[in-house]
């Protein structure tokens, strides 16, 4: 099944948003720059973006790190099998405070550990991998499977929304506002937090007394679809 396009994802989130927030009456038009236009008493544009905890261009971001964890586990399993290792399942948890910058050295260390512990099922003693600080836990089943796959298991904390991160998102979108439909009389920015994605999940209550710099956006709204929660990020007047 093909992955939904960005436009399809935006339309999905907006469809949920309409059920949780009262919009001005008007006909809805989906387009680009901005993503939605409400044709009512005035022409209202709505730009939609996901609010990630960290910019995905940062190599330490969860968006990048989860790909690298998967790459490490797939490569470690391949190395293990190439060296004659058994078809065991192995799962690992990684310390998010120590981002993975090189996958190959870490994969080789995990493959070597797996070779030593195969045959002793269950949680691997932490002393066995104390030379690999990126790891926080290892577990394997001694039973062999033709389709055995090595994978990651992660636990995450849920932080509070960062005013600085929202400010950065507003600045990024403001830089692109010159390309928005000139017929719009007002523009809103809708920042979506999908709690199913650990790279986004955060408490979205806006801190008392916090305010963003004034921007081209009449409103900056933060929306958590699964909870039907919408809060406004206040802006300086």
Contact present, 190 and 166 (Cβ < 8 Å)? no
- Looking up tokens 């507003």 gives 170
Q: Is 216 helix (H, G, I), strand (E, B) or coil?
A: coil
Q: What is the pLDDT of residue 200?
A: 96
Q: Which residues of the chain have pLDDT under 50?
A: none
Q: What is the pLDDT of residue 155?
A: 81
pTM for the whole structure: 0.85
Q: What is the pLDDT of residue 187?
A: 96
Distance CA 187, CA 24 (A): 13
Contact present, 124 and 139 (Cβ < 8 Å)? yes
CB atoms closer than 10 angstroms to residue 236: 8
Q: What is the pLDDT of residue 65?
A: 96
| Cis bond upstream, residue 34 (ω within 30) | yes
Contacts of 81 (CB under 8 A, 6+ apart): 87
User: 2-51: per-residue pLDDT in tens?
Assistant: 788 989 999 999 999 999 999 999 999 999 999 999 999 999 999 999 99
Q: What is the pLDDT of residue 71?
A: 98
Do the bridges between strand 89-94 and strand 151-152 make them parallel or antiparallel, or are there none, so unpaired?
parallel
Q: What is the pLDDT of residue 1?
A: 63
Q: Is 148 helix (H, G, I), strand (E, B) or coil?
A: coil
Q: What is the pLDDT of residue 138?
A: 95
């Amino acid at each position: 099944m093909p992955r939904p396009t960005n436009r399809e994802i935006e339309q999905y989130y907006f469809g949920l948003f309409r059920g949780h927030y009262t919009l001005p009456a008007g006909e809805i038009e989906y387009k680009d720059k901005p993503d939605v236009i409400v044709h009512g008493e005035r022409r209202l544009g709505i730009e939609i973006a996901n609010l990630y905890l960290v910019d995905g261009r940062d190599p330490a971001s969860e968006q990048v790190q989860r790909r690298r964890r998967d790459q490490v586990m797939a490569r470690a399993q391949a190395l293990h099998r190439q060296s004659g290792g058994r078809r065991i399942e192995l799962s690992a948890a990684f310390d998010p405070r120590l981002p993975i910058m090189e996958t190959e050295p870490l994969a080789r260390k995990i493959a070597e550990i797996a070779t030593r512990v195969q045959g002793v099922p269950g949680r691997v003693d932490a002393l066995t991998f104390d030379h690999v600080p990126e790891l926080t836990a290892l577990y394997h089943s001694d039973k062999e499977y033709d389709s055995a796959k090595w994978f990651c298991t992660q636990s995450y904390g849920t932080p509070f929304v960062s005013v600085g991160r929202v400010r950065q998102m507003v600045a990024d979108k403001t830089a692109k506002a010159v390309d928005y439909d000139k017929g719009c009389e007002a523009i809103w920015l809708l920042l979506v937090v999908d709690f199913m994605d650990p790279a986004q999940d955060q408490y979205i209550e806006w801190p008392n007394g916090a305010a963003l710099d004034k921007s081209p956006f009449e409103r900056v709204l933060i929306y958590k679809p699964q909870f039907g929660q919408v809060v406004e990020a206040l802006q300086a007047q």
